[in-house]
Amino acid sequence: MSSFVHLHVHTEYTLLNSTVRLSRLMEMAKRMRMPAVAMTDRNNLYGAIKFYDLARAHGLKPIIGLELTHQPIFAEDHKGDPPSLILLAENIVGYRSLVALSSAVQLEGPLPLDTIFKHRDGLIVLSGGMDGEISHLLLEGRFERAVQLALKLSTVFEGERFYLEVMDHGLLEEKKVNQLLVQLAKKLHLPLVASNDVHYLTPDEALAQDVLMAIAAGTKLDDPNRPRLRTSGYHFASPEEMEERLPWSTEARVATVKLAERIQLVLPDSTPKMPRYPLDAPRLKALFEEAGFERGHLTASRGLDGEENDFELAAARDAYSALEVLVLTMARKRYGNDLPEKVSARLQHELSVIRKMGFADYFLVVWDFIAEAKARGIPVGPGRGSSAGSLVAYVLGITDVDPLKHHLLFERFLNPERLSLPDIDIDFADDRREEVIRYVFERYGADHVAHIGTFGTMGVRSSIRDIGRVLAYPLNEVDALAKRFPATPGVTIDEALKDKTLRDMIERSEKFTTLIRLARAIEGLPRHTSTHAAGIVVSAVPLTSLVPLAPTSDGTGTQTQYDMDDVARLGLVKMDFLGLRNLTLIEETVNMVARALDERLSLAAFPEDDAKTYALLARGETDGVFQLESPGMKRVLRELKPSHFEDIVAVLALYRPGPMDHIPLYISAKHGRRAVTYPHPDLAPILEPTHGVIVYQEQIMMIAATLAGYTLAEADLLRRAISKKDRKTLLEEEDRFVKGALKKGYAHEVAKNVYDLIVRFADYGFNRSHSVAYAKIAYQTAYLKAHYPLFFWTALLNSVIGQQEKIVEYIQSLTREGIRLLPPHINRSEARFTVEGRSIRTGFLAIKQVGPAAAEAIVEGRRVEPYRGVYDLILRLPTRHLTRRVLEVLVLSGAFDAFHSDRARLLAALDDWLRQAAQQKKHREQGELFAVSHADEGVLSAFSGSIEPFSEKEKRAREEEVLGFSLSPHPLATYQELLDDPSFIRTLELMEKPAGKRYLLAAEVRRIVPKKTRQNRPMASLWLGDMMGDVWVTVFPEVYETERFKLTVGSLYAFSIEVLEREGRRSLVVRRVYDLDELMQKMRLRSVAKMHPKEVRRVFIRLGAADRLLGKDRKLKEILLAHPGDVPVILYDPDRDKTFALATKYAVNPSLSFVRAVRRLLGDDAVVI
């Protein structure tokens, strides 16, 4: 047994001040045969739970403590940082005292000693070593004051709970203070205790810890004035080394062991500690009264078991009784007074599990805040995760997915065989989520509710860059080195150095070797605290009796010092309040339709078999459609051609790494290109909806129940066990599964094959409950887009204001779908995008530098009458809203084009107008009357002829600068005749085309990023843009060396681009560059004899029923009339296999532009000449 125990240890959770990782701390303490180890981080308990559990797992006694800063009692004698004390929890009472004090110091700063004294119970206190006020006083020669303070502390912490702390890191002042502490101890009969102020584990880590402190201070390592530890002795010293340092202090060293023996701290286990729902809540009472309660009873009511019951008013009993009656009441709202038998049976089963697991309060709490959200008109998602499998959640309105209709399993959500906390995550409209969180804080009290804390860690690249900066290495070299390491989360430096090229490069440089050695020491350490994006904890007891608190990242609230895992480890319930942009999008679309068309849309009334919606999905026109808008997903949808809701559910589950490999099987089976087979006919009802492919975790559970006789709860445990891929577990479960199947009469071979199938798919199976809930949102957004595209696109643009890349992407898509976007207009634009006729008007908030206050002021200022020009606007609005920069971006965006189209002159006139307006406003304030209110023309005329108008190119560039996009004609528009040639494609088509082929793209060079190969040859990445979008391409040296001098930003060329694909990732490579003018000339000179109208007898066009349903027949008519000629048109109807000759007025001139237009409308194979 060791003769020394460390009681003053700063771990990695003394952020940017210690390199002591908890796991290595335990290993070292164990190796030194210490019986216990302490954790005393500065002002926080961030790692206390992990420390406690790790210590116990290593057979060590955990001593949870805290270095707590406080206000000096003798402030006039104190210099520098606030002094501190070391507080150690002797028992659970002491732990609660630490929690209270740590919360207080985090929220309020250094505490008065009186506050510490109020929380003295269960604490053992050390004087704080050289950072303690007693040591400060002794160094300053204030011995009597040190006596007063020590006497005060020993009196408050009676019963030998106060120790004078001696330490020796090799500093002269420590030796002086230690002598004085010995005198003080003798004078007051106080015990001494030895310690080492640990900040790293071994002496060779001193430099890494020093680097951390420099990073924290934002200084260079060689800065003489920065904070630092002054020797290399702040490590986890062995008992032998402590004896060498303090040979005179045997009693003080032995005291550490005796003190450790006094510690009897046992933390609470993870038994769920549910929040309590107040049973006298007005919402509950009102609902019961509405359901028929009179004087505390609901008479002659049939319960869930079908028997007549006389339910007592739940408020007089307990949470479960309240939940039971509430569920019955709400179930009748969902299904009618006479509940179907399967509904009653399922509810009885779920309620029995909820009762057994003690989760009734939890359901009431969640029901209450969701009911409050809906009462306030805040959109709530239909469900998320496995909670959608609960019928209780559905009837309570917590979810909006009927688990009976969609064959969802309750046991996937709550399993009576596996005690774990319930987890109901809820989506709210992203712009109103905070309202719901505020309600929960108000409902249960700020002392019972908090956000959950998280930690940002030192990533590989950030560690390299931080250390390089501290060591004053050239930034460009450090940055280049950092970029050689993967940015993938979880990839360590050691894993990256398996790359021999990278390893050799570092070993050749002494600087880089040092840098990487230091980076290894700090990578992964906690760097800063943050606030969990969605997590909220609600507790039945005041949180500070269990969990320390801290300010949230933005300083507006409180959060736990523990992360979500440690909060759960204490049995506290986390609830996720998530903000979902798509719910806001749906609500705004519905509201716009109501205002504009007087249609009151109900999401619940959307038919699930709407042909127009599925046609949109089948075309892959899913920009803005929830979960379905990625390029890869669009490709899948075009191949899948969804025709019913189950297809959407399945594609959401399958479109993930791993399961994605089974998408072709699903598609080919759906379209009859592959025969569907089942491992056994009895499994057909389970696998038929997914065409024989195991897609969902619930299918695995149902297979185990059907074939091997598992209960659904047992099947859920099987699914979890198999997914861990532990060989011993796999063999055990296989034996049980096969025996169960044999008992039910299935052949051994069938049982073995099915079990192997389950094992193969266990990793791939997706939570069907989650997929169904999210498919519902996907379908709702697709339905709105299909039926109300103008309103949908407007709401979609509003949902991404401030995200320029998304706005540009969406504008390209809506333009492609035939919707026109109008530029900002000073008298027509609102703050946000709005519907105007059959177009969308750009709002002021889409213009950079125009904030909400300025946008609202512009709109409000024209309520009485429209603005008459720029000067009128300046006169009417306060200068606090209308800065020169705001005026400038309004001009550049085209907002004043209705008055003056020469934007260059408008810009030149701004300063004069602002000066005149300032004088005008001053005269008005003085009560003088002036008639000057229309200075526009006068000022503008002064600049006539002296200012060159913007060229079209410059106008577009300025628009892109302030809007992120341009609404002026694209420079490629002059080559439209060439672009209509079928050999050219658009940027957005490139990634959809088959790999291994070359395609011709006409584009503007928007950005050039020069690069070098490993052989130092020049190459580049180009950002190319056309009228439909943008795309990055690579130009390798073979092409770049010959073409680089003509490739300039803004230049227009035709590029021959090859689509390459490797390991599922696509890239675009430029193979040749062509001059557009030369191509145009060649095209005009090219013989078109084979396309000459006189040689064309007829034009055949395919037009099916689905095309007519989508209104494409009307669009085709417009194309025919736009290309008049004398060639007759024959329509082919594939559904009836018939042809129809059109009237002579629809005869056409089958030019290239005509063919292109028809192909765009109906597909590449829809027209034959």
Beta strands 1052-1062; 998-1012: pairing state: antiparallel
On the question of pLDDT at 514 being above 70, the answer is yes
Task: Give the highest mean pLDDT range of 111-115, 320-324, 419-423, 909-913.
Answer: 111-115
Q: Which residue has the higher pLDDT, 1100 or 298?
A: 1100
pLDDT for 1015 equals 85
Please tell me the predicted confidence (pLDDT) of residue 742. Answer: 95
Q: Is residue 226 part of a domain?
A: no
Higher local confidence (pLDDT), 272 or 455: 455
Least confident of 62-66, 529-533, 617-621, 1148-1152: 1148-1152
Residue 519's pLDDT is what? 96
Average pLDDT score over residue span 927-954: 62
Helix (H) or strand (E) holding 1101: strand 1099-1102
Q: Does residue 770 belong to any structural domain of this protein?
A: yes
Phi-psi region of 1002 (alpha: psi -120 to 50; beta: other; left: phi over 0): beta
Using DSSP's 3-state secondary structure scheme, residue 267 falls into coil
Run of H or E residues at 61: strand 61-69
Task: Choose between 289 and 1011: higher pLDDT.
Answer: 1011
Residue 965 has a pLDDT of 86
Residues 416 and 524 grouped into a single domain: no
Would you place residue 1092 in the very low, low, confident or very high pLDDT band (cuts 50, 70, 90)? very low
Domain's final residue, options 899, 928, 963 = 963
The predicted pLDDT at position 1152 comes to 77
C-alpha 215, offset from chain centre = 28
Tokens 């409050």 correspond to 372
Task: Give the end-to-end CA distance of the chain in Å, rounded to a whole number.
Answer: 96
Per-residue confidence band for 612, with pLDDT thresholds at 50, 70 and 90: very high
pLDDT at residue 258, rounded to an integer: 96
Mean pLDDT over 614-620 rounds to: 95
Distance CA 410, CA 357 (A): 14
Q: Which of 221-230, 740-749, 775-784, 1093-1102 has the lowest mean pLDDT?
A: 1093-1102
728 in the same domain as 843: no
Query: What is the model's pLDDT at position 943?
Result: 56
Given 963, 993, 1021, the domain boundary residue is 963
Give residues with Cβ within 8 angstroms of 178, minimum separation 6: 166, 167, 168, 246, 249
In this structure, is residue 296 part of a structural domain?
yes
pLDDT score of 300 more than 50: no
Residues 32 and 181 in one domain: yes
3-state class of 84 per DSSP? strand
My answer on whether 1058 and 1075 are in the same domain is yes
Whether the predicted pLDDT of 768 surpasses 50 = yes
How would residue 940 be classed by pLDDT, with cut points 50, 70 and 90? low
Is a pLDDT exceeding 90 seen at residue 1141? no
Distance CA 968, CA 951 (A): 11
What pLDDT, on a 0 to 100 scale, did the predictor assign at position 296? 39
Cβ-based neighbour number of residue 1122 at 10 Å: 11
Is residue 422 located within the same domain as residue 519? Answer: no
Cα dihedral 235→236→240→246 (10° resolution): 60
What are the CB-based long-range contacts (under 8 Å, 24+) for 676-682? 679/750, 679/753, 679/754, 679/757, 680/707, 680/746, 680/750, 680/754, 682/706, 682/707
Computed over its alpha carbons, how large is the radius of gyration of the chain?
37
Q: Is residue 1023 part of a domain?
A: yes
Residue 109, pLDDT > 70, answer yes
Q: 359 with 425, same domain?
A: yes
Is 1153 part of any domain? yes
Please indicate, yes or no, if residue 215 is contained in any of the structural domains.
no
Distance between CA atoms of residues 628 and 685, nearest Å: 28
pLDDT in tens, 686-728: 999 999 999 999 999 999 999 999 999 999 888 888 877 777 8
The Cα–Cα gap between 634 and 105 comes to 53
Residues 257 and 334 in one domain: no
Which tokens in the block code for residue 674? 């592959």
SS3 403: coil
Instruction: Indicate whether 606 and 638 sit together in one domain.
Output: yes
Rounded to whole angstroms, what are the CA distances from 504 to 7, 507, 509? 43, 5, 9
CB–CB of 363/395 below 8 Å?
A: no
**Pair of tokens at residue 1041:** 């060396």
Q: Provide the percentage of residues in the chain whose pLDDT is more than 90.
A: 67
pLDDT band at 945 (very low <50, low <70, confident <90, very high): low
Q: Among 424-438, 454-468, 767-781, 1121-1135, where is mean pLDDT lowest?
A: 1121-1135
Identify the burial level of 280 via C-beta atoms within 10 angstroms of its C-beta, where 0-12 means exposed, 13-18 middle and 19 or more buried. Answer: exposed
Residues 427, 580 contacting (CB under 8 angstroms): yes
Q: What is the CATH number of the domain that holds 254?
A: 3.20.20.140
Domain extent, residue 1054, equals: 971-1085
- Choice between 169 and 290, residue whose per-residue pLDDT is larger: 169
CB–CB of 1163/1144 below 8 Å? no
Residue 1149 pLDDT level (bands cut at 50, 70, 90): confident
- Which of 547, 581, 615 is the endpoint of a domain? 581
Q: Select the highest-mean-pLDDT range: 157-166, 265-274, 752-761, 1044-1053.
A: 157-166
What pLDDT is stored for residue 314 in this prediction?
41
The reported pLDDT for the residue numbered 310 is 43
Q: Over the stretch 475-486, which tens digit does the pLDDT of each residue have?
A: 999 999 999 998
Residues 393 and 523 in one domain: no
Give residue-wise pLDDT tens across range 275-295: 899 888 888 888 777 766 543
Distance of alpha carbon 221 from alpha carbon 213, whole angstroms: 9
Query: Are 106 and 254 members of one domain?
Result: yes
Least confident of 6-15, 73-82, 208-217: 73-82
Map tokens 């908090």 to a residue: 450
pLDDT band at 94 (very low <50, low <70, confident <90, very high): very high
The dihedral region occupied by 123, where left means phi > 0, alpha psi between -120 and 50, and beta the remainder, is: beta
Please compute the mean of the pLDDT values over residues 251-261 and round it to a whole number: 96
Say if 598 falls within a structural domain: yes
Confidence at residue 298, expressed as pLDDT on a 0 to 100 scale: 39
Query: Looking at the predicted structure, is the pLDDT value of residue 307 above 60?
Result: no
What is the Cα–Cα distance from 111 to 229, expressed in whole angstroms?
25
Type of residue numbered 798? N
Question: Does residue 1158 register a pLDDT over 50?
Answer: yes
Q: What's the number of domains the chain is made of?
A: 7
- d(Cα 171, Cα 1076) in Å, to the nearest integer? 77
**pLDDT tens digits, one per residue of 967-1002:** 887 788 878 778 877 788 888 778 778 888 899 999
Question: What average pLDDT does this structure show over 82-108?
Answer: 97
Mean pLDDT, all residues of the chain = 90
For residue 683, pLDDT beyond 90: yes
Residue 210 lies in a domain: no
Range from 309-323, 398-412, 495-509, 823-837 carrying the lowest mean pLDDT: 309-323
Evaluate the CA torsion angle 82, 85, 89, 92 in order and state its sign.
negative
**Mean pLDDT along residues 147-176:** 96
Lowest mean pLDDT among 145-149, 298-302, 1054-1058: 298-302
Percent pLDDT > 70 in the chain is: 94
Residues 1066 and 1094 in one domain: no
Identify the sign of the CA torsion 6, 7, 10, 13: positive
Q: Are residues 554 and 663 in the same domain?
A: no
What CATH number does the domain containing 916 carry?
Answer: 1.10.150
Q: How confident is the model over 557-591, as pLDDT tens digits?
A: 999 999 999 999 999 999 999 999 999 999 999 99
Helix pair 341-357, 360-375: axis angle to 10 deg = 120
